[in-house]
Copies of this chain bind each other. A is one copy, B any other.
Amino acid sequence: MGSWEENIRRVVPYVPGEQPSDTNIIKLNTNENPYGPSPRVKAISMDMDFLKKYPDPRAGLLVDKLAAYHGLEPSQVFVGVGSDDVIAMSFMTFFNSGKPVLFPDITYSFYDVWADMLRIPYEKKPLNDDFRIVKEDYMNNDNGGIIFPNPNAPTGILVGVDFIEDIVRANTDSVVIIDEAYIDFGGESALPLINKYENLLITRTFSKSRSMAGLRIGYAMGSAKLIKYLNDVKYSFNSYTMNTPSIILGSEVIDDEEYFRNCLAKIIDTRDWFTEKLTELGFMVLPSKSNFVFAAPKSISAEELFMKARDNGIFFRYFKSPRIDRFLRITIGTREEMEKVVNFLVSVL
């Protein structure tokens, strides 16, 4: 055999959260929405014959609806196959200077995976002892870009729009990406800033608040200039990424604002109730503005509790990583599911 294997890009693959197919499981490990998508989606009958044609490469129906919904021009909206696709494309497009990209040490676990794969240097800035992002770490205007989620994951902690504006204003030489995957669960969006700062990109996903993880829809909003650069790279990678069902079904849910708001309200209520219960049970719970809580048990190790829950058909997410290995990330399911979780916790603790 020859040496072809020597010339290959080797990466340590990311391991996604388990997707067990057993529907009896209370699945609180990947921050999905317990409520299905808008009933409008069920009423759609798709023309299957039409699948023989390529989708609209612009995904115009979806882009135009998102633009109108957010009060933007279509030229300010980019769509992709989940926000992972959107952010990966953004890394390729914007984090290209050779200088290190900055993000927190405790954050979405894909950032360093993308940077490693794309050979982009990076520097992790430690959260403080309260697991908060330290603004001063991101003010040097001498970096290859900045990215963090707001609220942050897996902490669930939100920063204010002023905090973000200070960072964007200070870093005129790089692009700042705010990953707002969880912003709909009680945070204030930095979206209004995109009309003021050309170098700010906001990303969103349909997988959490929009209950459509199975469709893979993510999007980004920013200045028309930023979006054009992103589209140029995207069209050079794969012209037709959004398939026809995603474009049609994704567009449909945007019109059902009432159902959307109702589901959000239920999740926020359940989160606050569940946080109280956890606190009563002795957990240390970080203040969450997302659809999950990050909580450390007192009298049992997080890992042991994770395993016990798993044996009882309840899936949490556990990260065996420095600083956070005493926490569990628990997605907020329905009130009924969370009551079962509380009963389980009472029985164990």
Contact = CB atoms under 8 A, between A and B. Distances in A.
Interface of A: 1-17, 19, 21, 27, 30, 32-37, 41-42, 48-57, 81-82, 84-85, 88, 92-94, 96-97, 99, 113-114, 116-117, 141, 144-145, 171-175, 198-199, 207, 211-216, 225, 229, 231-233, 235-246, 249
A240 B216 contact: yes
A252 B315 CA distance: 31
What 5 A-B pairs come out closest when comparing CB atoms? Answer: A2-B172, A7-B97, A36-B49, A214-B244, A51-B214
Given A11-B233, A53-B32, A236-B11, A2 B216 contact: no
A141 B3 CA distance: 10
B172 A14 contact: no
A245 to B, nearest CB: 4
Nearest to A42: B48
A10 to B, nearest CB: 7
Of A144, A229, A245, chain B has the most CB atoms within 10 Å of the CB of A245
Of A8, A15, A240, chain B has the most CB atoms within 10 Å of the CB of A8
B13 A232 contact: yes
Grouping DSSP codes into helix (H, G, I), strand (E, B) and loop, the A interface class, with mixed when no group exceeds half, is loop
Contacts of A213: 51-55, 240
A212 B51 contact: yes
Number of identical monomers bound together in the oligomeric complex: 2
Contact of A241 (B85, B92, B175): B85
Contacts of A56: 19, 21
Contacts of A37: 48-49, 51-52
Contacts of A32: 52-54
A20 to B, nearest CB: 10
A107 to B, nearest CB: 16
A239 B55 contact: no
28 contacts: A1-B172, A2-B171, A2-B174, A3-B172, A6-B173, A7-B94, A8-B96, A9-B96, A13-B233, A14-B239, A15-B235, A27-B53, A33-B52, A34-B52, A36-B49, A36-B51, A42-B48, A51-B212, A54-B207, A54-B213, A82-B240, A85-B241, A88-B237, A213-B240, A215-B245, A216-B241, A216-B243, A243-B243
